[in-house]
Amino acid sequence: MTGIDRAHITINAGASLGTLTRPWTTFGYDELNWTYTPRGKAALKTFGEFAERPYHVRAHNLLTTGRAFSWPHWGSGNVYHEDANGNPVYDWTTLDQAFDAYIEAGMRPLVELGFTPAAMVPPDADLPFTRSASQYQPYEASLWSMPPHDYAKWGELIFQVVRHCVERYGQAEVEAWYWELWNEPDIFYWRGTPEQFDGLYDVTVAAAVRALPTIKVGGPSVTGGPNAVKFMEGFLAHCAGEGDRGINSVSGGRGTQLDFISCHTKGSAFGRRYGPLSDTGAVHDWGGDAHGNGMVRSPRQSPSRRKMLTEIRAHLRAAARHPQFRNVPVIVDECDPCVPAHFSAYDNANFGFRNTPYYGSVMASVFKRILDLNDTEHDAPDVTLASAWAFYFEGERYFEGFREFFTAENVELPVLNTYRALARLHDDRVALASDATWPIGEVDRLATDVMDPETGNLDDVEVDGIATRTDKSVTAVLWHHRDDQYATAPDAHVTVTVTGLPFDANKVVARNIRIDRSHSNAHAVWESQGRPQHPTTDQLTELHARDGLEEGQVVAVRTVGDHAVELTLPMPLHSVSLIEITPA
């Protein structure tokens, strides 16, 4: 499998497509308590310095009980307790630290209301548990996923949380937040029934609206796949007031307020494989004799955009059955090429792409394809946000290969620079067409071997992009991507014809800002240093020097009309280019 040899892109800067939807302006993570650590606050500040608008940030475990200390895939907001008489006691310490950090960085919470506080776990709850060093108590193991034993107490908790936030941050600020019940209630995060979830949602909405009538509440934040779609269908029927599921458990009427619809998608799940390690992570092939007899061979796998996009499309089509939700925004608040976040290249070598420009090129492609779904799924609501479930990890090795934006010492990974590039797009989106891509309607035909034995026959390689303009600039983000992190290919020869320039084409400057194996890529520098896990001060300075965007190859510019130019540039496989055309 190779890349594309030649591609021709046309941009009509005079053909406005309207205001650009920016689904990438959001992210999230499991470890709530890393929000306000020194590294966490520095990472938020980095995002805030380049973000084109306030990012919405989501974290698990806001209402989970604990010692306000995170480790991978765990955290606790520790908000709710009860005294000896069963009266509620609220502790806002951790919630305030987390939300203060978001606000200080110019961001907004996407508040995930979960999970069940220890004091609300049903007294008779009993799930299999064996005490160990990593499972301190049955609560940490899974009791947090039980439905609260008293929905009235839960409702009062939600009321108090919302009221506290309004008092601390102001009504106008909190009105811009999203409030979501739970996470992935279609799997182990919720040990109740779908009907119990409906009831908890009704209680949550009523309590939140009582505290702030203009609040935006939604859900159900389900996973991808057929079971998730079934859960989504039932939840939407409940909110729409349809059938047996349509009764509101609080009002007794039909239907429930739904201000946004949320769902998730993951492009792969490689799992953990035990075996020898190298200085970059797990070893693919090991053991055996000189002839290969007895060798353990690990499959080379990569994320699948087909899986991600068809999962999103299935949820959009479920929503399309309810015309009343046509203008309700859809938030894919976990939109990731692989799962889980806390497995690294030391668990499975296939997670290694997270250190490389591949991570950025696959996400750029997915974001654009989400816009394509918005354009083609005419009866469905539009996706407005798609969150990378990624942040950073404490205690990690350099370039561990977690799903994150920063490695040790907050050295920036190449994927962060893709977000920087996307942030520089203007608000007015204009027409862009490529002869080296595939239509979104053909997504089911894409070849893939990740978690799906039914492979298609359509090559998924593409050179594509998103283009925008102002009166003084035409800016585009382009990428060359294939869903194969191990593929190698010569650079694509890309020609970009731009017409409708809002200024004289005879006097223009074109910049090519590049993310690839040689540019905007601290990981490549670390490899050239010999992959040190204890870099010297000079080596660390050299790594941080590669934070941010860097100029790529010079773009050849040829005038082909008073308001038209032709650009030529090479694009390596798994690269992203930010092209900026301005008057000289």
Q: What's the N-to-C CA distance of the chain in angstroms?
A: 41
**What is residue 450's predicted lDDT score, i.e. its pLDDT?**
52
pLDDT one digit per residue (tens) for the chain, 584 residues: 477 999 999 999 999 999 999 999 999 999 999 999 999 999 999 999 999 999 999 999 999 999 999 999 999 999 999 999 999 999 999 999 999 999 999 999 999 999 999 999 999 998 777 776 656 788 988 999 999 999 999 999 999 999 999 999 999 999 999 999 999 999 999 999 999 999 999 999 999 999 999 999 999 999 999 999 999 999 999 999 999 999 999 999 999 999 999 999 999 999 999 999 999 999 999 999 999 999 999 999 999 999 999 999 999 999 999 999 999 999 999 999 999 999 999 999 999 999 999 999 999 999 999 999 999 999 999 999 999 999 999 999 999 999 999 999 999 999 999 999 999 999 999 999 999 999 999 999 998 655 455 667 889 999 999 999 999 999 999 999 999 999 999 999 999 999 999 999 999 999 999 999 999 999 999 999 999 999 999 999 999 999 999 999 999 999 999 999 999 999 999 999 999 999 99
Q: What type of residue sits at position 459?
A: D
**What is residue 99's predicted lDDT score, i.e. its pLDDT?**
98
Has residue 3 been placed in a domain? no
Has residue 445 been placed in a domain? yes
Quick one: 372 exposed, middle or buried, by C-beta within 10 A (0-12, 13-18, 19+)? middle
CB 571 within 8 A of CB 6: no
SS3 assignment, position 113: strand
SS3 assignment, position 358: helix
Q: Are residues 451 and 498 in the same domain?
A: yes
Q: Are residues 415 and 432 in the same domain?
A: no
Has residue 355 been placed in a domain? yes
d(CA 267, CA 309): 9
Q: Are residues 402 and 539 in the same domain?
A: no
Answer with the one of 423, 440, 472 that is the final residue of a domain: 423
CB 523 within 8 A of CB 355: yes
Residue in 400, 412, 407, 302 with CA at minimum distance from that of residue 358: 302
Answer with the one of 373, 397, 423 that is the final residue of a domain: 423
CB 77 within 8 A of CB 144: no
Q: Are residues 127 and 174 in the same domain?
A: yes
Q: Are residues 174 and 260 in the same domain?
A: yes
Q: Specify the DSSP class assigned to residue 73.
A: T
**What is residue 542's predicted lDDT score, i.e. its pLDDT?**
98
**What is residue 488's predicted lDDT score, i.e. its pLDDT?**
94
Q: Which domain holds residue 577?
A: 428-583
User: Which CATH number fits the domain that encloses residue 149?
Assistant: 3.20.20.80
Considering Cα of 372, then 377, then 381, then 386, what sign does the dihedral take? Answer: negative
Q: Are residues 218 and 105 in the same domain?
A: yes
Structural tokens at position 94: 């951790």
Alpha carbon distances (Å) from 111 to 30, 231, 467, 492, 578: 13, 21, 32, 43, 32
Q: Are residues 286 and 267 in the same domain?
A: yes
Q: Are residues 125 and 55 in the same domain?
A: yes
d(CA 73, CA 29): 8
Helix (H) / strand (E) containing 277: strand 277-278
Residue in 154, 248, 144, 158 with CA at minimum distance from that of residue 195: 248
Helix (H) / strand (E) containing 62: none
Q: Are residues 382 and 244 in the same domain?
A: yes
SS3 content of the chain, % helix, strand, coil (to 5): 30, 25, 45
pTM across the whole model: 0.97
The pairs formed by 543-546 with CB atoms below 8 angstroms and a separation of 24 or more are: 543/409, 543/411, 544/409, 544/411, 546/412, 546/520, 546/521, 546/522
CB 465 within 8 A of CB 543: no
Q: Residue 312: what are its φ and ψ, rounded to 5°?
A: -60, -45
Has residue 42 been placed in a domain? yes
The total of other beta-carbon atoms located within 10 Å of residue 222's CB is: 28
d(CA 151, CA 197): 11
d(CA 220, CA 68): 26
* String of DSSP letters for 390-402: -B--TTPPTT---
Q: Specify the DSSP class assigned to residue 298.
A: P
SS3 assignment, position 515: strand
Q: Are residues 295 and 173 in the same domain?
A: yes
Q: Are residues 257 and 393 in the same domain?
A: yes
Has residue 12 been placed in a domain? no
Has residue 7 been placed in a domain? no
SS3 assignment, position 361: helix
- Please tell me the total count of domains within the chain: 2
Answer with the one of 388, 423, 458 that is the final residue of a domain: 423
Considering Cα of 333, then 338, then 344, then 347, what sign does the dihedral take? Answer: positive
* String of DSSP letters for 425-485: S-SEEEEEEESSS--GGGGGGB---SS-S---SB---EEEEEEEEETTEEEEEEEEE-S-T
Alpha carbon distances (Å) from 148 to 13, 123, 152, 191, 561: 55, 10, 9, 10, 68
CB 18 within 8 A of CB 382: no
**What is residue 451's predicted lDDT score, i.e. its pLDDT?**
46
CB 206 within 8 A of CB 160: no
User: Which CATH number fits the domain that encloses residue 562?
Assistant: 2.60.40.1500
Q: Which residues contact 500 (CB under 8 A, 6 or more apart)?
A: 12, 13, 14, 15, 430, 563, 564
Q: Are residues 402 and 458 in the same domain?
A: no
Alpha carbon distances (Å) from 428 to 76, 466, 471: 41, 11, 10
Q: Which residues contact 152 (CB under 8 A, 6 or more apart)?
A: 203
